[in-house]
């Protein structure tokens, strides 16, 4: 018999009405914001499938926008995310799209900047407030954000992975799952761990100077 926890039965604590279309959307926006470089001034949300058809009625638009402004699925600010974004000077747009053969609750979030290239994250809300990040700027990935996660991009060469895993071993951190996507000479690493990153581990990883991009995602209580 499959085991169910309380969250899988009742759903997450959230501003409604839908765990998939609202809570999951807020989590998608927030994790995408954590991955994106700072300083974006506009976000374009490309909505696919059921997100595309029902986003206004289910509050998906408000939740996505709240997420990229660092609000949680249970934040009261979701109700007023349009007004908050306007006050902050953050531009936004929602575009009905066909993103191909992907989960029906999928969104591609494109972050725009004045002084650098656009950056995008694509992910899906898969039910009960749970999500999967599937694409980061063209890199094929898959992670839920429910575990501490290292996201790193680097020039693919020998020794990088062994240095990363050795750093985790020295820090006493156990790797739960690891995936590498290679596109040409560039590799994107997704490494999920069983314990949160601490400042010392982040500092040690930072000594590896071959990264083109690196982000550390620690899940927080409100995301669960």
Give 36's pLDDT tier (boundaries 50, 70, 90).
very high
What are the two backbone dihedrals, phi and then psi, of residue 138, each rounded to the nearest 5 degrees? 95, -5
Render the burial of 141-166: b for 16+ CB within 10 Å, e for the rest. Answer: bebbbebbbbbbbbebeeebbeebee
State the pLDDT at residue 5. 45
Residue by residue, what is the 3-state secondary structure of 111-161? EECCCCCCEEEEEEEEECCEEEEEEECCEEEEECCCCCEEEEEEECCCCHH
What is d(CA 157, CA 172) in angstroms, rounded to the nearest whole number? 25
> What pLDDT, on the 0 to 100 scale, is given for residue 13?
43
pLDDT (0 to 100) of residue 12: 45
Mean pLDDT score of the chain, rounded to an integer? Answer: 88
Token pair listed for 180 = 């590498």
Q: pTM score > 0.95 for this model? A: no
Q: Taking a C-beta distance cutoff of 8 angstroms, is the pair 215, 32 a contact?
A: no
Which range of 88-92, 197-201, 209-213 scores highest in mean pLDDT? It is 88-92
Tell me what the mean pLDDT of segment 130-154 comes to: 95
Higher model confidence: residue 223 or residue 85?
A: 85
Token duo for residue 132:
């999967």
Parallel/antiparallel/unpaired status of strands 106-112 and 91-96? unpaired
Residue 35 region by backbone torsions, left for phi larger than 0, else alpha for psi between -120 and 50, else beta: alpha
Q: CA separation (Å) from 53 to 49, 61, 94, 110, 198?
A: 7, 11, 12, 20, 42
Backbone angles phi, psi at 212, to 5 degrees: -90, -25
Q: How confident is the model at residue 127 (pLDDT cuts 50, 70, 90)?
A: confident
Q: What is the pLDDT of residues 173-206, one digit of tens each?
A: 999 999 999 988 999 999 999 999 999 999 999 8
- 3-state SS class at 214: strand
Which has the higher per-residue pLDDT, 57 or 132? Answer: 132
């Amino acid at each position: 018999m499959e085991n169910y926890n309380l969250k899988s039965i009742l759903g997450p604590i959230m501003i409604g009405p839908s765990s998939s279309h609202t809570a999951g959307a807020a989590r998608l926006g927030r994790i995408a914001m954590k991955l994106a470089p700072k300083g974006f001034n506009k976000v374009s949300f490309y909505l696919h499938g059921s997100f595309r058809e029902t986003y206004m009625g289910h509050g998906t638009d408000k939740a996505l926008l709240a997420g990229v402004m660092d609000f949680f699925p249970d934040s009261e600010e979701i109700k007023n995310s349009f007004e908050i974004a306007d006050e902050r000077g953050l531009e936004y747009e929602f575009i009905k799209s066909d993103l191909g053969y992907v989960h029906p609750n999928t969104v591609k979030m494109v972050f725009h900047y004045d002084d650098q290239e656009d950056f995008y994250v694509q992910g899906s809300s898969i039910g009960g407030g749970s999500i999967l990040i599937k694409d980061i700027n063209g890199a094929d990935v898959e992670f839920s954000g429910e575990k501490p996660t290292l996201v790193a991009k680097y020039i693919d060469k020998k020794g990088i992975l062994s240095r990363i895993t050795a750093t985790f071993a020295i820090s006493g951190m156990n790797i739960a799952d690891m995936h590498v996507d290679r596109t040409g000479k560039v590799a994107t690493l997704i490494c999920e761990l069983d314990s949160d990153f601490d400042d010392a581990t982040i500092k040690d990883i930072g000594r590896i100077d071959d990264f083109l991009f690196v982000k550390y995602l620690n899940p927080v209580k409100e995301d669960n």
